[in-house]
Amino acid sequence: MGPTKIRTASLFILLLLTAVLLGADQRSSITSLAGDLEQKAAGLAQNSYEYFKGWNGAISDQEQAVLFKSEAFAASCRLFLKLAEERSDFYRTDRLRTNLYNAFTYLASSFEELDREMQKTGVRPYELRDCRHALRMMEEAFAKWPSPDNLAYLDQRYVKDKKAAVYLIVKKKTGVFIKYPFKNLESLYRYNYDQKRGKNPWDYLVEVQTETLNKMEQGDLIDLNFEGWLVIEQSSRPNRPVYLIENGKRRGLAQARVLAKYGGWSKVYEVPDVVINSYPEGELIED
């Protein structure tokens, strides 16, 4: 085995060990947070019972709903903690994070059901706030556990499946994410520049399975363009022309002093030539 192959193999092993250690660290953090959440949920259920048990044994239908949803959430927390602590073959190693996060989405859904019933009563106990905070911290821990099927990790990233469609993933609320499709390559590059992410959106791209995308709601189409912007072909080719996109056409700038008039090189954005060539050529800008 030559030096290059040895270095490649060593790098692969290092990356694999890093992923394993990172996953173990996040699992430990999630398990700890789950234990804390289980205690808070149990306290919330007990306090809900004490608060809503009523006078003369009378409890309204709405209060009954809160009691049962409180108990359901507490039970969900106990089950999630059990799953997070599980050390048997219940989880396949390559699906550990996926299974845990899927369980977390059910846990988050149980909390949202309780929160909706609480809102109807106008009662907002501090334990409810503490439970929501714990859920957010757990999702942050999941977000640090890299995996292409991890919805929390995909938040604010671009993803594509085998069909090559590209989406922006945005968190709607705990455990719920929306996929926003880009209309075309131009929309993707324009959005990436708007977010001040530089000239290469592919640095934020993650390839995912179709089944992962199917777990998310679909949002509105992202339809953006470079109208009014100065653009240049994204390549190392010398003497590339600079264009102003104006009224749906690409207008070349005749010379450097014209560019200065429009703000100079700091206002020029690199985009693929296919984006530039999608605009018909307009009149040259000479002054």
User: Is the per-residue pLDDT at 7 higher than 50?
Assistant: no
Strand-by-strand arrangement of the 205-207 sheet: 205-207, 158-160, 166-173, 176-181, 217-218
What is the residue-averaged pLDDT of the chain? 83
User: Is the per-residue pLDDT at 6 higher than 60?
Assistant: no
Tell me the domains of the chain and their CATH numbers.
Answer: 3-147 (1.20.140), 153-218 (no CATH), 230-277 (no CATH)
CA angle at 71 for the pair 41 and 46, rounded to the nearest 5°:
60
User: Is the per-residue pLDDT at 165 higher than 80?
Assistant: yes
Round to whole Å and give the CA distance between 186 and 163. Answer: 18
198 touches 192 (CB < 8 A):
yes
Round to whole Å and give the CA distance between 64 and 82. Answer: 27
- Residues forming a β-bridge with 230: 244, 268
pLDDT, tens digit, 9 for 90 and up, residues 170-182: 988 888 899 999 9
For residue 33, the Cα-to-chain-centroid distance in whole angstroms is 21
- Structure tokens that stand for 28 in this block: 């430990």
Query: pLDDT tier at 141 (50, 70, 90 boundaries)?
Result: confident
Q: What is the pLDDT of residue 23?
A: 46
pLDDT, tens digit, 9 for 90 and up, residues 94-108: 455 567 788 888 898
